[in-house]
Amino acid sequence: MPIKPLDFYNLLSENNIDFFTGVPDSLLKEFCFCVDENKSKEKHIIAANEGNAIALAAGYYLATNKVGLVYMQNSGLGNAINPLLSLCDPDVYSIPMIIMIGWRGEPGTVDEPQHLKQGKVQTDLLKAMGIPYEVISKQEQDIEKKVTAAINKAVNDNTPSVILVKKDTFDKYNSARPSPNETSTTREEFLDVILAQLSDDDIVVSTTGKTSREIFEIRERNNIPHCRDFLAVGSMGHCSSIAMGIAVAKPNRKIICIDGDGSLIMHMGSLTTVGKLKPKNFYHILINNNVHESVGGQETSIKFVNLPEIVKANGYQHIYSINSKEQLADVLEDFLLNKGPNFLEIKVEPGSRTDLGRPTVRLVDSKKAFMRFLSK
């Protein structure tokens, strides 16, 4: 039977876990909602990336002598490896924490291509890192035993200790979250307008999650070849760097990078590279819905920063911020005509179609077609 998020949360509380941080994951979203509703913002921090979350839990331990809990999708383990091995490892500072990892791409399950390799090497990676782990699932008879074993291991051995969570382990959490505003312009509608404005030669690089899925479907609907788009379905936070790599190599082509707020924040340091190189052909669009919509809608920290000021300070040339289709129509042509690097923030309500599909082409084939398109 699936585990009730509140029961799981209570079990952690009984074991003195009172600090939570991480980057959201669809497999863990019900648990995240539960933590969010039960903890203050100082005790539940949605971090910029998974490495930051490990470091936050390490700091919390140093200040309190208490074990914190870090949650993440297994895609984020790469971000976490550095602070796990060079800060928390028993050979370094020996800092205990519980790490809850959503196991996407578990062998034997059906999942997206970007999750398959990570899922396959998941347990081997933990073994190679010397991190003890327990696996839980909805079939599990004795969750309590496994969770307390993981916590005891962390506390007794002063080590990070993992709880690996299989798909569908958690039941729904009935939270008081507001439902999406269905009358406002959706991300997909904005994307439709943007893609329609681009010329046949323009290159699109788009971010992880539903944005890329929507772009794929818009192209399909309009019978436009997919070779114009590089969909960064994995490597969250890196689409602007991929786009920058293309921009410097193809100075005579326009590169349109379509980013998300969670993704931009995840590796925000990449903005400084844009500032350093200032490619005239780089057009950065941020679809800002204030949340990690693709994995459940958990808040990002974007609303606490003045993003137009940040990109300005990083050397972007022309900066626009809009929140309606009318405003988009007013600025889009200018945005794409003016020499870059330019930045366009589109403020949008969270939400997407429930019947949104996934790219149906093989990724290596779309890479080849994209490279042919770039070499034109």
Ligand X SMILES: Cc1ncc(C[n+]2csc(CCOP(=O)(O)OP(=O)(O)O)c2C)c(N)n1
Q: Which of 79, 186, 212, 241 binds ligand X (CB under 6 A)?
A: 79
- Nearer to ligand X by Cβ, of 295 and 346: the residue is 295
Q: Rounded distance, CA 194 to CA 107, Å?
A: 38
**Site size for ligand X, by CB under 6 A?**
24
Residues 179-208 that bind ligand X (CB under 6 A): 207-208
CB of 57 to ligand X, least distance (A): 16
- Nearer to ligand X by Cβ, of 254 and 292: the residue is 292
Residue 84 DSSP symbol? I
Q: Rounded distance, CA 244 to CA 255, Å?
A: 8
CB of 53 to ligand X, least distance (A): 10
- Nearer to ligand X by Cβ, of 52 and 281: the residue is 52
8 Å CB contact between 17 and 150 = no
Tokens in use for 288?
């800002």
Q: Which of 289, 314, 342, 366 binds ligand X (CB under 6 A)?
A: 289
Q: Rounded distance, CA 30 to CA 172, Å?
A: 6
Asked if residue 36 binds ligand X (CB under 6 A), the reply is no
Residues 6+ apart with CB under 8 A from 358: 112, 213, 216
Helices 210-221 and 187-197 cross at an angle (nearest 10°) of: 50
CB atoms within 10 A of CB 225: 10
CB of 263 to ligand X, least distance (A): 3
Q: Rounded distance, CA 342 to CA 321, Å?
A: 11
- Nearer to ligand X by Cβ, of 81 and 85: the residue is 81
Residue with tokens 């008081």: 176
Determine the interface stretch with ligand X among 18-26, 118-126, 190-198, 336-344 (rule: CB under 6 A).
Answer: 18-26
Q: Which of 57, 100, 236, 271 binds ligand X (CB under 6 A)?
A: 236
- Nearer to ligand X by Cβ, of 24 and 160: the residue is 24
Q: Which of 29, 219, 267, 292 binds ligand X (CB under 6 A)?
A: 292
Q: Is 108 left (phi over 0), alpha (psi -120 to 50) or beta?
A: left
- The type of residue at 330 is D
Is residue 362 exposed (0-12), middle (13-18) or buried (19+ Cβ within 10 Å)?
exposed
- Nearer to ligand X by Cβ, of 151 and 287: the residue is 287
CB of 186 to ligand X, least distance (A): 11
Q: Which of 295, 319, 322, 332 binds ligand X (CB under 6 A)?
A: 295
Q: What is the number of the residue whose Cβ is closest to ligand X?
A: 260
Q: Rounded distance, CA 56 to CA 74, Å?
A: 18
- Nearer to ligand X by Cβ, of 263 and 366: the residue is 263
Asked if residue 210 binds ligand X (CB under 6 A), the reply is yes
Q: Rounded distance, CA 289 to CA 258, Å?
A: 13
Residues 251-280 that bind ligand X (CB under 6 A): 260-263
Instruction: Identify the sign of the CA torsion 369, 372, 374, 376.
Output: negative
Asked if residue 75 binds ligand X (CB under 6 A), the reply is yes
Residues 302-341 that bind ligand X (CB under 6 A): none
Summarize as ranges the residues that interact with ligand X (CB under 6 A).
23-25, 73, 75-76, 79, 207-211, 236, 260-263, 289, 291-295, 300
